Amino acid sequence: MTLLDFTILAAKVVLVMSVLLSTVPILVWVERRGSAFIQDRLGPNLVGPFGLLQPLADVVKFLFKEDPIPIAAHRFLFPLAPLCSLVPAAVTFAAIPFGDTIDLWGKTITLQIADINVGLLYIVAFGSLGIYGILLAGWSSNNKYSILGALRSSAQMISYEVALGASLIGPLMVYGTFSLREMVHLQASHWGILLQPVAFITFFISAFAECNRLPFDLPEGEAELVAGFHTEYGSMKFALFFMAEYLHMITISALTVTLFFGGWQLIPGLVPLAQWIGVATYPTSIGLSLLQVFSFTLKIGFFLWLFIWIRWTFPRFRYDQLMSFGWKILIPVALGNIFLTTLAIYLKWI
Amino acid sequence: MWHDIIFWILAVLCVSCALCVVWQRNPVVSAVFLVGSFLALAGLYLNLSAPFLAAIQVIIYAGAIMVLFVFVMMLLDLHHPLDLYFRFTKLKFPKLIVLLLFSWFLCTLILATAFPLAAPQTSQGFTISQIATLLFSKYAFPFELTSLLLLIAMVGGVVLAKKK
Amino acid sequence: MISPIGYSHYLILSAVLFTIGVFGVLFRRNLIIIFMSIELMLNSVNLALVAISKFTQNPDGQIFVFFVITVAAAEAAIGLAIVISLFRHKQTIAVDDINLMKG
């Protein structure tokens, strides 16, 4: 591995991580203005035009606020828990392709940090490590509400992880590969959702439960458990949990787009528009790669807006409703989808 | 060369996490170190060109079994003063002798076997389709038995832990 | 560090991990830590199997690891269920105090 290869890899990592981490403040702003719009009120509009600098004010607040550590909290695990939540959420994005290739300096650079041949398994693996942050946070806080919230949240996340995995087997059988880059290449003619609509629905619902977002919000239910597992967490550590949740949302949206909506395949109608504007798009030019990244970003943006929209529209599931929905309805539907897909592949419908 | 460096880093990490597992007073911290050990082992599997097993190790061991352990520890009200660490272990000295003899025995056996020195340089890992084909053809019977075993474990676990 | 990493390095690492697991089982009195040491021993065996599978170019080793992981999952579930019911009866998980069938 030459020095140039290493530099390109490092540059890709730095670029992706900075884009991810700077999308979080934007998401915070979108959530607050979007929720205000849905609830027929104004959101933050004092700090900067349209309240755009509000996340910046939040960051300054988080940096300067006192970071309390309760006396009875576990000395080692209490500060470790936010890291255990943040690192898996950030690292999971490494396997997701955000563009095809770019030709620079004589090398063809694939727009993906790591083209792992078990990419889908890697994402499921590190997604399932996110539970530790919640469990350790709840237990080390030495607080009734924290531990109740942590136990509920992890029970929910484990149950819906099974549904998530089961719903991923359908697309796996159709595409025949674990590698995400291959999957996007195979969606050149028609997107995955035309072949696996049921899998998309189960996957998307499980994704909500995985990210602890409403309507599966009971673990951090504001009116129920003070603040659930992050009751005792103050400024910077709470900010890390917050960031971890938004990063998880972004990664799940990216995965949905990659599996079911064509990944970086161009949104139909984008090429004529680009040619009309004057961007060159003959094969593997920088213009085409930028268009692909732009399509990818637009699709992720749509799903992130969908996350926020659904959050502020639906009421919360009760805990027993949540668990029975996951085990008794979602998993059988996912298994039925596997059966149907097998039948379809065997009878050569797909 | 990179394989060697990565091996040494991961091996040291694995052994130190394993030592912390058996040397900690608090079982929850032990569980966290055991997860670290499992992640280091997954890295070692990757080093040995077994990416499928590395992913399975993280998903099942670190992501499910250890979560089960941590759950049980959080639900039981374990009083630490009761587990008074090494002080009340009976027969400490004989156990230590047995342990040292055992480790010496294992290492001697390994070092005495004439293994070929380096890995065959053209060895590549096995793809998932090769493993899956083997699983469903040659090892199909153990595969079905394992699914039965998991069913038994699920039913047995629920029955054993139920409140009367 | 001087010689390239071969068979023996992985097997010695596996033996070291196994020894640490045996140390945990023999010397600790907390039932759950004994369980964790048993899991450590199972993992050391997995490592040995994968190493041998790579060095003899035989995929059967990886299949065995697959089965060992599954059996370990089932065993952990049942073992923890036993621990829970034991704790409910005796309010302790120190192995020295769980001696009802003794003499």
Hey, where are the domains in chain B? 1-107, 126-164
Q: Do A122 and B55 touch (CB under 8 A)?
A: yes
Burial class (CB in 10 A: 0-12, 13-18, 19+), A175: buried
Residues whose CB falls within 8 Å of the CB of residue A186, separated by 6 or more in sequence, listed in order: A175, A177
**Residue B153 to chain C, least CA–CA distance (Å):** 5
Is the residue at C102 inside a domain?
no
Residues 58-77, chain A, touching B (beta carbon < 8 A): 74, 76-77
Q: How far apart are CA C34 and CA C17, in angstroms?
A: 14
Tokens of B18: 């394993």
> Domain residue spans in chain A?
71-346
Is the residue at C67 inside a domain?
yes
Residue A52 pLDDT: 84
Is the residue at C38 inside a domain?
yes
**Residue B61 to chain A, least CA–CA distance (Å):** 10
pLDDT tens digits in sequence order for chain A, 350 residues long: 678 888 888 999 999 999 998 899 899 899 988 889 898 888 888 888 888 888 888 888 888 888 888 888 888 899 999 999 999 988 999 999 988 878 777 777 888 888 888 899 999 999 899 899 989 998 888 888 788 888 888 888 899 999 999 999 999 999 988 999 999 999 888 888 888 999 999 999 999 888 888 778 776 665 555 667 777 888 888 889 888 989 999 999 999 999 999 888 888 777 777 777 766 666 557 778 888 888 899 999 999 999 999 988 888 888 888 899 999 999 999 999 999 999 999 987 76
Model pLDDT for residues C44-95, shown as the tens digit of each residue: 999 999 998 888 888 899 999 999 999 999 999 999 999 888 888 887 777 8
Q: Which residue of A has its CA nearest to B66?
A: A132
- Tell me, yes or no, if B97 comes closer than 8 A to chain C by beta carbon: no
The ipTM estimated for the assembled molecules is: 0.91
Distance of CA B95 to the CA centre of its chain: 23
8-state DSSP, A98: -
Is the residue at C1 inside a domain?
no
Is the residue at C20 inside a domain?
yes
Neighboring chain A residues of B78 at a CB cutoff of 8 Å: none
Distances (CA, A) of A269 to A186, A281, A334, B81: 20, 13, 33, 69
Distances (CA, A) of B69 to A137, B30, C81, C84, C94: 16, 10, 10, 11, 17
Tokens of C7: 């068979």
- Tell me, yes or no, if C102 comes closer than 8 A to chain B by beta carbon: no
Question: Which domain range does residue C33 map to?
Answer: 7-94
Looking at the partner chain, which of A118, A128, A147 has a beta carbon nearest the beta carbon of B63?
A: A128
8-state DSSP, A130: T
Q: Do B154 and C4 touch (CB under 8 A)?
A: no
Q: Do B58 and A151 touch (CB under 8 A)?
A: no
Q: Which residue of B has its CA nearest to A159?
A: B64
- Tell me, yes or no, if C5 comes closer than 8 A to chain B by beta carbon: yes
In chain C, the number of structural domains is 1
Model pLDDT for residues B78-112, shown as the tens digit of each residue: 655 545 566 677 778 888 899 999 999 988 888 88
In one letter, which amino acid is A170? G
Neighboring chain B residues of A1 at a CB cutoff of 8 Å: 2
What CATH code is assigned to B1-107? 1.20.120.1200
